[in-house]
Structure 1
Amino acid sequence: MDFRGQAKGLAMIAVLLSIGAKAHAGDERVLYASLGDTTRAPIGWVEFCAENPGECQGGQSEPRDIVLSQAAWRDLLKVNRWVNETVKPMTDMEHWGVIEKWSLPTDGYGDCEDYVLLKRKMLVDAGWPRQALLITVVRDKKGEGHAVLTVKTDKGEFILDNQNENVVAWTETGYRFVKRQSQSDPNVWVSLGDGRPAVATASARDGR
């Protein structure tokens, strides 16, 4: 087993712990993405919720951040890597014969948002608060729409991504962040302050 990613991650935690007080005092712009106005949900989310209501329970709730202990960090690495290695990439057109469909990859195949849905479900089933696990739409390094999972912690926001076996701080992804679920209600989506035209789905299409 390759422990390099885990060792790097634990070293990052040690650094974050050592500067935690300073970061919370004056550097939250780096640790936490800037939130904007409410915006439209990505294409596919409403349909996914209609088919999987248990995954989309709405209503107002208090935002919660994870205390980023070494045990929590190991759990994030484990879930991210297991899903990335277990689910095989397949486009929605190949998989379902449609351009866009969100689904839990129960048959072992999916695209980026399906990886995100499974990671989120595994963490919620393990007792993690839904309010700290936010499906997020970004533009990747190629400028294409992409979905990742943002984990809100007391040491900043970290990203679980099917394009990266390691869990990294949001500022280290090289992505432009577009929108994500609200911590207060998973069916409310908020802009992340990108001035460029919004990417609504992992297919880089406008939302509705």
Structure 2
Amino acid sequence: MSKVKGMPLLFAAVIGVLSMTGAAGAAGSFMKTGGRTTQPVGHYEFCQKLPNECRQKTARHQPVELSRRLWSAIISVNNAVNASVAPKTDMEIWGREEVWSYPNGQGDCEDYALEKRRQLMALGVPAGDLLITVVRQPNGDGHAVLTVRTSLGDYVLDNLEPRVLAWDETPYTYLKRQSDTNSGVWVKINDGRAEAVASVR
């Protein structure tokens, strides 16, 4: 990763904007969401097992302020979870597809996202700003990442990418994510950068 005097370039850029404008006044890149859509079957089953994880409701609010402290926490959690979880498919772990769970030393994409969400919530980030998101990779495969809504835009924590990137700097087509007002509800993403694609089940 490129660095500026020992500081990751993206971190330096974010902090530069913070210092010049303040987080609340900065213009960032935000996903445009649409109406309610289908909940991924794996998330539905996860909610049946752990219903409290899917009953987090929040009033519509401004995204969390991206302070220096929060940015540091986001980077730390992303790195720690990516390093501590061995990538394994659901078929390898469970013998079937689409099992969403907190990782126990191993997991696939949605398990990484769930754990990052849990750790950032434990640090005080609101549930409505930590949204599991379903995307399409350039090769057509489905994938899940964690979106963090901030005052400087939407950032993505990804087990396939060591850097935390703004959502529109990633190679993905964005399909749907958790609602920012109800963690058990999913909404469409209107990704204007690509042609509409079929939703992931």
Instruction: Name the TM-score, length of structure 2 as normaliser.
Output: 0.88
Deviation, 1:11, is 1.1
CA distance in 2, matches of 1:104, 1:110: 8
Q: Does 1:134 align with 2:131?
A: yes
Tell me the equivalent position of 1:192: 189
Matched to 1:138, the amino acid is V
Matches within 5 A, 1:120-159: 120-159=117-156
CA deviation vs aligned residue, 1:147-171 (integer Å, no higher than 9, x gap): 0011000110100000111111001
Is 1:180–1:191's contact at 8 Å kept on the other side of the alignment? yes
Matched to 2:72, the amino acid is R
Structure 2 residue ranges without an equivalent (≥5): none
Q: 1:116 and 1:138, CA in 2 relative to 1: closer, same or farther beyond 3 A?
A: same
Say which structure is richer in strand: 2
CA distance in 1, matches of 2:58, 2:163: 32
SS of 2:78's equivalent in the other structure is helix
Identity of aligned residues (%): 42
Tell me the equivalent position of 1:44: 42
Tell me the equivalent position of 1:116: 113
Is 2:148–2:154's contact at 8 Å kept on the other side of the alignment? yes
Tell me the equivalent position of 2:179: 182
SS of 2:134's equivalent in the other structure is strand
Matches within 5 A, 1:22-33: 24=27, 31-33=29-31
Is 1:77–1:167's contact at 8 Å kept on the other side of the alignment? yes
- Higher mean C-alpha deviation, range 3-12 or range 109-118: 3-12
Is 1:64–1:132's contact at 8 Å kept on the other side of the alignment? no
Instruction: Name the TM-score, length of structure 1 as normaliser.
Output: 0.85
Tell me the equivalent position of 1:204: none
Regions of 4+ moved over 6 Å: none
SS of 1:36's equivalent in the other structure is strand
What count of residue pairs does the alignment treat as equivalent? 194
Deviation, 1:23, is 5.1
CA distance in 2, matches of 1:34, 1:90: 32
Is 1:64–1:183's contact at 8 Å kept on the other side of the alignment? no
CA deviation vs aligned residue, 1:139-198 (integer Å, no higher than 9, x gap): 123221110011000110100000111111001111111100111111111111245233
CA distance in 2, matches of 1:109, 1:149: 17
Q: Does 1:16 align with 2:17?
A: yes
SS of 1:44's equivalent in the other structure is helix
CA RMSD of aligned residues (A): 2.2
Q: 1:69 and 1:193, CA in 2 relative to 1: closer, same or farther beyond 3 A?
A: same
Tell me the equivalent position of 1:67: 65
Tell me the equivalent position of 1:170: 167
Deviation, 1:63, is 3.3
Is 1:36–1:190's contact at 8 Å kept on the other side of the alignment? yes
CA distance in 2, matches of 1:6, 1:127: 25
Is 2:179–2:185's contact at 8 Å kept on the other side of the alignment? yes
Is 1:138–1:199's contact at 8 Å kept on the other side of the alignment? no
Deviation, 1:127, is 1.2
